[in-house]
Structures are given as C-alpha cells and as structure tokens.
Amino acid sequence: MGYLGIAGVGIGSGLFHATLKNYTQWCDDLSMLVATATVIHRVFTFDKSLTYTVVHGAILIACFTAFSTWHCIKDELIMHSVIFGIMIAVVGLKTRSIINARVTDPAVRKDVRLLTAWGGLIFVTGFAIWNVDNAMCSQLTAIKRTIGMPWSFVIELHGWWHIFTGMGAYIFIALVEYLTSEEAGQPLGTRFAWPVGSIIAGRGSETKENGNESLEHVNGSGNSIENLKHTNGNTNGVVDGNGKSTGGVKKNR
C-alpha cells in the first residue's frame, strides 16, 4: 500500500503541475496525506488482529475524509502542512520502537538506525525547503528572474522539495516494509534500491570484514584442534620392541 500511495503522489503532483488548477492542487495536497496514512496504518497494525486492523483503517479513513472536506472548502495550506508534519513524526517514532523490538543483531541494528537517520534527514530537509518556498515564493521568483537560466534552477526550491521528499519517502516506505515483514532483523544486503545502497555501503563492507575475521579465527581454532589430535595420536602410538603398539605412553624407568 505504501508504494501505491507514493505512486498516487506522483500522479496527483503531475496533474497539478501540468494544469495549475485549484482542484488539481487538492489532488497534489491530499495524495501526500493518503500516502503517509498508508504507512501509519501499516506500522500500527502489522502485528495486530484483523478486527483491530479494520477498525484502525476505518478510523483513519473517517479522519482523513473529514479533514479533506474541510481543507477543500476552506482552501487553506497551513493546517495541511501541520497535519502532514505530525503524521511524519508519528511514523518516525513508531519506526524507532519497531527497530528496538524486532532487530536484535547489533550490526544489523546499526545499519537500520543509520538508514533511518539518513531517511529522516533527507525528508525533513525537503519538508523545510517546501515551507520556505511557500513562505518566500514571490521573493525567490524575483531572484530567479534576476539570475536567469541555467543557474536559477539552484534556488528552484519546489523542485528540490520533490527530489528530497521522494528519496526520503522511498527510504521510509521500504524500511517499514522490511521491519514489518518476516525478514526483519536480517542483514539489509542489496534488497533496497538507490540511495539505500550508497548509505549503508561502508557499513556493509565493515560487517563483511568482521565476519571474515571471525571465520578465520574459527578456522584457526579448528586447525589447532586438529594439530592437537595429531600430536595425541603420535604420542599414544608408541611401539614396543616387538613392533606392537603399546596403546599408551611409554614411561622412562
């Protein structure tokens, strides 16, 4: 559902930017809340009963419908931004608690926490850029016209908002899918698309090196045991003067 939600954001955003109509902006705004609501529903119901899952979903739908109706009638943006920020914070806090409960391996937990931190940082950066763009749209437009192309794109904050939040949203949706599945607690490996591989590449190499060192240590211990057995065998295999094995250690008298 999370991936369908983020696909819906792409469709709604595409409609708005292609038409610049008021009603298509509602598609853009509300699709963000729908996508986040699907993630909230997942993190709070993945380990619950079917009845709880259905009731929780019904409550989310009712709350979302009420807010969406009010949002469209009043044509406001402030409460939309506030609600969206609160929903993201709820997802972040719940994700952290799931990590503590379901990821027990210290190395894997370190990777997951690193990924969570980067995902949160990327998303919050995009969210901040979006709010700056909303508050200073006129001033930024004047600056862009003064600079001209091609460098004016650098302060095209609305574009950066889409890039940053798209990356952050993917990281969290993929992370929630991992944490709420049977694969939770297993090494992350290459199960995620970019930019996750770049974020945990160094940690993955470090974990692999530690694993190789441990394996070499085990092999070394095994060789020592084999050498010990070989020595004991030679000691126990003492031969007497008649060419027969005594089966024990020959003592000096």
Residue ranges for the known binding site are 17, 158, 162
The amino acid at 185: G
SS3 186: coil
With contact defined as beta carbons under 8 Å apart, do 31 and 2 qualify?
Answer: no
List the structure tokens of 238: 């003492």
Give the C-alpha separation, 157 to 131, whole Å: 9
Give the C-alpha separation, 88 to 120, whole Å: 9
Give the C-alpha separation, 99 to 102, whole Å: 5
Binding residues for Zn(2+), by number, are: 17, 158, 162
Instruction: For residue 197, give the nearest of 128, 126, 79, 111 by alpha carbon.
Output: 111
Give the C-alpha separation, 110 to 103, whole Å: 9
Residues in the chain: 253
Asked if the bond preceding 187 is cis, omega within 30° of 0, the reply is no
Element at 61 (helix H, strand E):
helix 50-74
